[in-house]
Amino acid sequence: MPLTDEQLSLLHDHFKESFTLIRDRERQRDRLFLWLLLLYAVLIIEIQYPANAQGALGTVTIAGNTIDLQLIPLFLLLDASWVFLAAFVLKYCQVATAVDRQYPYLHALEERISASLKDEDLYRREGRAYLTSYPRLLSWAWLCYTLVFPSALILATGYLYVVEAVALRYSPFSKAFDGLFAMGIVITVILYRYLQGGHPGPGANDEGGEELTTESKASAEGSQLQNGGGMSYLDEVASVISRELHESPSDATPPALLRLYAVLLLSKGDQVNADDVHNAWAAWMQETQPENVLIRPYRELDASTQGADDPFVEAIRLASRSLNRS
């Protein structure tokens, strides 16, 4: 389903904004990773060499008042270190997950724009072009970030807490307090890297569960209007598909077409294919624009036009899996 020049321009602008957002989050993620290394180094010194850590402390001046840090009990500084470490681990995992989730969306935008440009090799910088002949060094870096480093964080956290609990003569309350945050770090890393399954929440995102996005609201409101103010079971399924499409309001799929995609989901689930999606679109187009030249069998379309259905296939499959998990 080719885009008009105006739609293509809007999609291109949206792609640039999305790419900028990802780059900003990647820089934030990298800074957080360096802070994590620093905090673990501080924690190692405080637990393995408490006397040296106490002696390394000096004085700080706050609002004209001089505070001698050596007078602060070391267990309080250790408690604070665990709290800061847990907070930074959580934020790092949030930002890293946000980056991971945005790239498939960016690739889908590239697919949509490339299909409209009728050139399979254009507009593929972050998707096909980047992944082609992928260097071994980058594969190794990916393995480190996805397996080695998370595993090291879990092992280091467990080891440091065991040493603290066994070797340091701090109060049981302080050790229990630190244990809660150590457990929180381990759970955060496990959920981030090893248990990444999602849930079909009401538009919740990585950054703290915000409300429905503008796109989802527009789609849901459109469905309600088409249905006289109430949502049928087809509209509910269609709204899940709409969320998976991540469309801007100006390029939102019409509610009537989303209902046909909902029928495909209910009948074929994640086995739906591009041929099915095109047939549904053709049935909808027959009613809205019967003279459209693309109302013909899927096999007769050129490759770039066929590729325009791929984002919808993927959205229906993702929606089906989300609904099955709920």
pLDDT in tens, 181-217: 999 999 999 998 877 654 444 333 433 333 333 334 4
**CA separation for the pair 89, 66 (Å, rounded):** 31
pLDDT value at residue 31: 93
**CA separation for the pair 275, 301 (Å, rounded):** 11
pLDDT average, residue stretch 310-322: 89
pLDDT average, residue stretch 235-259: 82
pLDDT value at residue 228: 42
Whether 259 and 298 map to the same domain: the answer is yes
**CA separation for the pair 4, 325 (Å, rounded):** 37
Among 248, 189, 187, residue whose Cα is nearest residue 217: 248
Whether 283 and 225 map to the same domain: the answer is yes
Please report, as a single letter, which amino acid is at residue 49. Answer: Y
Considering the chain, what percentage of its residues have pLDDT values greater than 90? 27
Q: Which two tokens stand for residue 157?
A: 């956290």
Q: How many CB atoms lie within 10 A of CB 88?
A: 18
pLDDT value at residue 3: 62
State pLDDT tens for residues 50-87.
766 555 555 556 666 666 555 567 788 889 899 999 99
Q: How far is CA 73 from CA 44, 78, 101, 253, in A?
A: 17, 9, 43, 61
Is it the case that residue 30 has pLDDT exceeding 60?
Answer: yes
Q: How far is CA 188 from CA 10, 88, 157, 255, 274, in A?
A: 37, 11, 12, 38, 37
Whether residue 48 is contained in a domain is answered as no
Whether residue 209 is contained in a domain is answered as no
Helix (H, G, I), strand (E, B) or coil at 91: helix
Whether residue 67 is contained in a domain is answered as no
Whether 185 and 273 map to the same domain: the answer is no
pLDDT average, residue stretch 213-241: 58
Whether 10 and 107 map to the same domain: the answer is yes
Q: How many CB atoms lie within 10 A of CB 42?
A: 16
Is it the case that residue 227 has pLDDT exceeding 60?
Answer: no
Contact call for residues 275 and 259 (beta carbons, < 8 A): no
Mean pLDDT of the chain: 79
Whether 180 and 77 map to the same domain: the answer is yes
pLDDT value at residue 90: 94
Residue the block writes with tokens 């307090």: 177
Query: Poorest-confidence range of 106-120, 153-167, 248-262?
Result: 106-120
Whether 129 and 16 map to the same domain: the answer is yes
Contact call for residues 304 and 118 (beta carbons, < 8 A): yes
Domain extent, residue 309, equals 214-325
Whether 317 and 233 map to the same domain: the answer is yes
Is it the case that residue 298 has pLDDT exceeding 50?
Answer: yes
Whether residue 200 is contained in a domain is answered as no
Is it the case that residue 158 has pLDDT exceeding 90?
Answer: yes
Residue the block writes with tokens 């260097």: 135
Whether residue 57 is contained in a domain is answered as no
Whether 224 and 321 map to the same domain: the answer is yes
pLDDT value at residue 221: 42
- Which residues lie closer than 8 Å to 302 by C-beta, 6 or more apart? 118
Whether residue 99 is contained in a domain is answered as yes
Helix (H, G, I), strand (E, B) or coil at 309: coil
Whether 160 and 219 map to the same domain: the answer is no
Whether residue 173 is contained in a domain is answered as yes
Whether 150 and 272 map to the same domain: the answer is no
Considering the chain, what percentage of its residues have pLDDT values greater than 70? 78
Whether residue 47 is contained in a domain is answered as no
In the structure, what pLDDT confidence band is assigned to residue 224 with cuts at 50, 70 and 90?
very low
Whether 264 and 182 map to the same domain: the answer is no
DSSP 249: G
**CA separation for the pair 261, 273 (Å, rounded):** 11
Contact call for residues 79 and 174 (beta carbons, < 8 A): yes
The model's pTM is 0.56
Residue the block writes with tokens 């070797």: 167
Domain count, the chain: 2
Whether 145 and 115 map to the same domain: the answer is yes
